[in-house]
Amino acid sequence: MPYHKYEPQSIVENSNYKLYRDRSILTDRNIQSNRPDIIILDSTIKEAHLIEISIPNCNNVHSTITEWLHKYNDLQDEFISIRQMKTACIITLVLSTTGNISNKLHEVLKLFNLRPALYILVQKAIILAGR
C-alpha cells in the first residue's frame, strides 16, 4: 500500500510496547499540551518517547524544535511520575517545506533502528505533497 494512502491505527500494542497515535493523554494535573503526534512506551526498560512531527517553513525549523521541546516538558514529567517511567524523551521530527532537515533527524533514525537513508523518502514525500 502506498504510504500516502495508509491510515494507521490509533493504538498498537504487544507485550513490550504500546504506540499511541494522535491521542490525548490523561494526567493527574491539567496539562494543556497532552497530545503529541506519537507516543511509544517501552515497558521492558520503562522508557517513553513523545514524538512530535512538524513541517514548518525553512526559516522556522530551529524555533519549531525549541517550541515543541518546551511545549511537552510538563507532559514529559507526568510520564515519569504517573507511568513510573525511568525516562521520557521528547523527540522532534522537523523537516522544512522544502525538504531541509535538522541534524537531529539522523539521530532519531538511528535511535529507532531505521535505515539511515529513510530521510530521503521523507523529504521526497514532503516536497511532493506541497506542504
Q: Residues with Cβ < 8 Å from 25, sequence gap 6 or more?
A: 34, 35, 39, 75, 78, 79
Q: What are phi and psi of 14, to 5 degrees?
A: -140, -165
The pLDDT score that the predictor gives to residue 131 is 52
The pLDDT score that the predictor gives to residue 65 is 83
pLDDT tens digits, 91-109: 988 888 887 877 788 888 8
pLDDT tens digits, 1-40: 777 788 889 999 999 999 999 998 888 888 888 899 999 9
Domain extents in the chain = 3-129
pLDDT tens digits, 50-77: 999 888 887 888 888 888 888 898 889 8
Q: Residues with Cβ < 8 Å from 16, sequence gap 6 or more?
A: 42, 43, 44
